[in-house]
Amino acid sequence: MKYSKYLKDNEELVEVVRQHPLVYLKPAAIALFFFLLPFFLMFLLFKWETVGLIIFFLLFIIGLILIIQLAVVYLNNALLITNKRIVHLRQNSLFDRHETEASYNIIQEVSYCIKGAAQTLFRYGSIRIKLANSVKGLAINKISGPRRIQQLILKIKSDINN
């Protein structure tokens, strides 16, 4: 299991929540553009010999790096809901990673927000988790089914408290 390294003893993973795929549409289009552009311009670039080859490989490598970065960010951005705590993993870029965890006993409030036509139409939004020991709390943005996730967190919290 990919996320087993984040689990503590006697802890079970209940659900893994990711950002909605629509969030990655624009970065994916840009990465795909840079990846495919050199192939569309290949005959023109190869006529320019050395300079054309350099431009071809630069565009190809830029596209490849953007695709790898997009894959790393998508695969490593997750909210892990376990039976004992919540772990928020954020990967902003290849070399920018944040991990935040909160046990259910410090969670005071869980709210969700669906804002705008796109979020309403495609059913994604944000969750805010207010913590007892933090002014800021946790914000998990642009996730699929925020109401269901809110209800799941509140259910696990109430099960633990009873």
For residues 76 and 89, is the Cβ–Cβ distance under 8 A?
A: yes
Contact between 31 and 62 under an 8 Å Cβ cutoff? The reply is: no
Q: pLDDT by residue for the chain (162 residues), tens digit each?
A: 588 888 888 889 999 999 999 999 999 999 999 999 999 999 898 898 899 999 999 999 999 999 999 999 998 899 999 999 999 999 888 888 899 889 999 999 999 999 999 999 999 999 999 998 778 888 999 999 999 999 999 999 999 887
Burial of 117 (0-12, 13-18, 19+ CB in 10 A): exposed
Residue 154 CA, chain-centre distance (Å), reads: 22
Asked if 23 contacts 5 with a C-beta cutoff of 8 angstroms, the reply is no
- Alpha helices of the chain — where are they, by DSSP H? 25-40, 42-47, 50-76, 116-122, 146-161
Domain residue spans of the chain: 13-82, 104-162
Q: Please state the pTM of the whole predicted model.
A: 0.84
